[in-house]
Amino acid sequence: MIEVMVQLKNVSKKFLENNSLAVDKVSLEINKGEFLTILGPSGCGKTTTLRMIAGFEDQSDGLIFIDGEEISKMPAYKRCVNTVFQSYALFPHMNIFENVAFGLKVKNVPESQIKERVTEMLKMVQLEGYENRMPSELSGGQKQRVAIARAVINNPKVLLLDEPLGALDLKLRKQMQLELKQLQRKLGITFIYVTHDQEEALTMSDRIVVMNKGVIEHVGTPADIYERPKTKFVANFIGETNLFEGKILEKDNNKYLLDEDDGEEILITESPTSMTQEVCLAIRPERIKLSNNVDNGMVGIRVSVKERIYNGSVIKTVVVTQNGREFVVSEPISDVYSLDNHNENYVFATWNPKHAVVMH
């Protein structure tokens, strides 16, 4: 049976100084041992939500529970959570052993236990032998590992991570993503991770919460968020997508989206909740192929190639419909359709309609 570790019930935060509503009636359940990421652009309310769970901000309304206990009015130092910040927040005058041991010393844990726990924790974050080094002698990735070791040595029920990899270079950030996920699995602690980086969220998370303008737009697994976004915002924010807007048309026992921009009829398999409202169809560039024919049951739109962009493992192709509508196709470099294979001005952009998502 899944146990809920953190629960938010209609939590809101209004900043009186500028009369802004940063978080608007957010309700969320986070499971025990889960790696959950709160993802969104700057100003969406993700960090404010994290700070309310930590106790650094008071909510204006609603309730917060940790492991079944209502902690909305509990001061931060009494909550069974720890926080890791982007700035590391290591004590510069203490060596690595002293930094990691700090929380245990505050709790008056016996010295023999402190040494054993610190040694175990440094081994877990792959920093054995670094006990006597100072923070200034470490790389960014090593400092972040020390910050994580210090945060988890007290066995918190929940670890809060506020964009902890934001200051690292790209290669190190990717390495730390995998290390963080592996560490979370070893520890079994509930991780709540805040970021604006979609790749981080998709790589590490069990579930993702997408926020926008203080509200939750979508909660789901990485695959669910990416493949079946619930809103236009989510489709646009997570990765790259092509959006076609229009109304639903029924013809020959099939449903089509009549694209309002160029009049193209696009076959769909999803049944929208309303046949009269305008809808939006989202299709990822990597789901589209260029071909000189269209197989049965596939969508096929005649396009011309405007531009091809080399992007390492993939080629991105900007295509244009006969009525001037542009969209993007992304193909693995090994599968790229050769423009030398045909003698016509136009090719077909094709995709399986089950890979397209219809949204209101």
Q: 356 CB contacts (<8 Å, ≥6 apart)?
A: 266, 268, 269, 270, 281, 282, 283, 287, 299
Q: Tens-of-pLDDT digits for all 360 residues of the chain?
A: 789 999 999 999 999 887 889 999 999 999 999 999 999 999 999 999 999 999 999 999 999 999 999 999 999 989 999 998 877 788 999 999 999 999 899 888 998 899 999 999 898 888 999 999 999 999 888 888 899 899 989 889 999 999 988 877 888 888 888 888 988 998 899 999 999 999 999 999 999 999 999 999 999 999 999 999 999 999 999 999 999 988 888 877 778 777 777 778 888 887 666 555 788 999 999 999 998 889 888 999 999 999 889 888 899 999 999 888 999 999 988 776 665 554 456 789 999 999 999 987
pLDDT at 343: 43
pLDDT at 337: 62
Global pTM reads: 0.89
SS (H, E, C) the chain: CCCEEEEEEEEEEEECCCCEEEEEEEEEEEECCCEEEEECCCCCCHHHHHHHHHCCCCCCEEEEEECCEECCCCCHHHCCEEEEECCCCCCCCCCHHHHHHHHHHHCCCCHHHHHHHHHHHHHHCCCCCCCCCCHHHCCHHHHHHHHHHHHHCCCCCEEEEECCCCCCCHHHHHHHHHHHHHHHHHHCCEEEEEECCHHHHHHHCCEEEEEECCEEEEEECHHHHHHCCCCHHHHHHCCCCEEEEEEEEEECCEEEEEECCCCCEEEECCCCCCCCCCEEEEECHHHCEEECCCCCCCEEEEEEEEEEEEECCEEEEEEEECCCCEEEEEEEHHHCCCHHHCCCCCEEEEECHHHCEEEC
**Predicted confidence (pLDDT) per residue in 211-243, tens digit:** 999 999 999 999 999 999 999 999 999 999 999
**Predicted confidence (pLDDT) per residue in 126-170, tens digit:** 899 999 999 999 988 888 889 989 998 988 999 999 998 887 788
pLDDT at 334: 78
C-alpha–C-alpha distance, residues 117 and 104, integer Å: 9
In the sheet with 357-359, reading across from the earlier edge strand, the strands are 265-268, 254-259, 242-251, 279-283, 357-359
pLDDT at 263: 76
CB atoms closer than 10 angstroms to residue 119:
14
Count CA atoms closer than 13 A to 26's CA, side-chain side.
37
C-alpha–C-alpha distance, residues 110 and 113, integer Å: 5
Dmax over Cα atoms in the chain, in whole Å? 81
Asked if residue 315 lies in contact with residue 288, where contact means CB atoms within 8 angstroms, the answer is no
C-alpha–C-alpha distance, residues 266 and 32, integer Å: 43
C-alpha–C-alpha distance, residues 259 and 279, integer Å: 10
Name the residue among 158, 113, 149 with its Cα closest to residue 131: 149
Asked if residue 192 lies in contact with residue 163, where contact means CB atoms within 8 angstroms, the answer is no
Domains and CATH numbers, the chain: 4-237 (3.40.50.300), 242-359 (2.40.50.140)
Asked if residue 47 lies in contact with residue 85, where contact means CB atoms within 8 angstroms, the answer is no
Asked if residue 146 lies in contact with residue 89, where contact means CB atoms within 8 angstroms, the answer is no
Asked if residue 228 lies in contact with residue 235, where contact means CB atoms within 8 angstroms, the answer is no
